[in-house]
Chain A
Amino acid sequence: MNDVAIAGVAQTRHESRKDNMIYADMVFDVVTSALEDAGLTLDDIDSVVTVSNDFLDGRTISGMAVGDASGGQDKNISTVEGDGTFGAFYGLMRVLSGYGASIVVAHSKGSEGDIRYVTNGMFDPIYQRLLGIEAISASAMQAREYMQRYGVSEEQLASVSVKNHGNARNNPYAHLPMDISIDDVMKSRPVADPLKKLDCGPVSDGAAAIIIASPEIAAKATSTPVWVKGVAHCAEDYMIGDRDLAVPVALKDAARRAYDMAGIKNPAEELDLVELYDAFSYMEPLWLEGLGLAEAGKGMSLLEKGVSTMEGSLPVNPSGGVLSSHPVLVAGLVRIIESVLQLRGQAGERQVKNATSALAHGINGPCGQSHCVWILNKDK
Chain B
Amino acid sequence: MSRPVGIVGTGQTDHKSHRPDVNGREMIREAVTRALEDAELSIKDIDAIVIGNMDHFESINYVDTWSVEGSGGVMKPIMKITTGGTTGATVALAAYYHVASGLFDRVLAIGWEKNSESDTTAAIITCSDPIWDRFSYSGAIPSLATEATAYMKQYDATQEDAALIAVRDRNNALNNHHAHLQRPVTVDDVMNSPMLAYPIKLLDVCPRTDGACAVVFAADGVAQKLTKQPAWVKAGSVRHTYTWFGDSTDYDRGLVSLQRASAEAYKHAGITKPAEEIDVAELYLPYTYAGLKWIEDLGFCGKGEGAKFVREGNTDMNGKIPVNPSGGVISTNCIGATALLRVAEAAIQVMGKGGDRQVDGAKTALATGFGGCFWSDVVILGAQKP
Contacts and interface: CB of A to CB of B under 8 A. Distances in A.
Interface of A: 1-2, 24, 53-55, 58-61, 63-69, 72-74, 76-82, 86, 89-90, 92-94, 96-98, 118-119, 121-122, 124-126, 214, 232-239, 249-250, 253-254, 364-366, 369-370
B123 A60 contact: yes
A122 B127 contact: no
Interface string B33-62: 000000000000000000000111001111
Contact of A54 (B54, B76, B243): B54
A82 B79 contact: yes
Interface string B74-86: 1111111111100
Interface stretch (B92-100, B165-173, B177-185, B200-208): B92-100
A309 to B, nearest CB: 33
14 contacts: A58-B130, A60-B127, A66-B243, A72-B240, A74-B260, A81-B81, A98-B2, A121-B60, A125-B60, A235-B64, A238-B67, A238-B69, A250-B75, A365-B65
B55 A81 contact: yes
Contacts of B81: 78-81, 90
B66 A238 contact: yes
Nearest to B48: A233
Contacts of A1: 102-103
Contacts of A60: 54-56, 84, 123-124, 126-127
Given A2-B102, A92-B101, 17 more contacts: A54-B54, A55-B61, A60-B84, A64-B240, A76-B237, A78-B94, A79-B90, A80-B81, A86-B79, A96-B1, A96-B101, A97-B101, A122-B65, A238-B65, A253-B75, A370-B64, A370-B65
Contacts of A67: 240, 242-243, 372-373
Given A54-B54, A61-B127, A365 B62 contact: yes
Contact of B127 (A64, A119, A254): A64
Contacts of B96: 97
B73 interface: yes
Contacts of A68: 242-244
Contact of A234 (B60, B77, B244): B77
A113 to B, nearest CB: 11
B101 A235 contact: no
A328 B61 CA distance: 13
A66 B372 CA distance: 12
A224 B274 CA distance: 45
Contacts of A96: 1-2, 97, 100-103
Interface of B: 1-2, 23, 54-56, 59-69, 73-84, 90, 93-94, 96-98, 100-103, 123-124, 126-130, 237-244, 260, 371-373
B25 to A, nearest CB: 9
A235 B60 contact: no
Contacts of B56: 54, 60
A61 B371 contact: yes
B2 A235 contact: no
Contact of A82 (B64, B90, B101): B64
A82 B73 CA distance: 15
Contacts of A97: 1-2, 96-97, 100-101
Contacts of A78: 81, 83, 90, 93-94, 238
A366 B244 CA distance: 34
B94 A90 contact: yes
A366 B60 CA distance: 13
B83 A233 contact: no
Contact of B241 (A74, A86, A232): A74
A9 B75 CA distance: 31
A124 B65 CA distance: 11
Contacts of B2: 96-98
Residue of A64, A68, A125 most packed against chain B (CB within 10 A): A64
A64 B373 contact: yes
A64 B372 contact: yes
Contacts of B98: 93
B74 A236 contact: yes
A364 B64 contact: yes
Contacts of B123: 60
Contacts of B55: 53-55, 60, 81
Nearest to B260: A74
Interface pairs A-B: 3 shortest CB-CB: A365-B65, A121-B61, A96-B101
A126 B23 contact: yes
A106 to B, nearest CB: 14
B101 A79 contact: no
Given A67-B373, A74-B241, A235 B126 contact: no
Contacts of A58: 126, 130
A250 B77 CA distance: 9
Contacts of A93: 94, 97-98, 100-101, 103
B78 A370 contact: yes
B127 A59 contact: yes
B241 A90 contact: no
Residue of A68, A80, A86, A92 most packed against chain B (CB within 10 A): A80
Nearest to B67: A238
Nearest to A231: B103
A369 B65 contact: yes
Nearest to A78: B90
A55 B93 CA distance: 24
A49 B16 CA distance: 33
A53 B243 CA distance: 17
Given A58-B126, A90-B79, A236-B74, A65 B103 contact: no
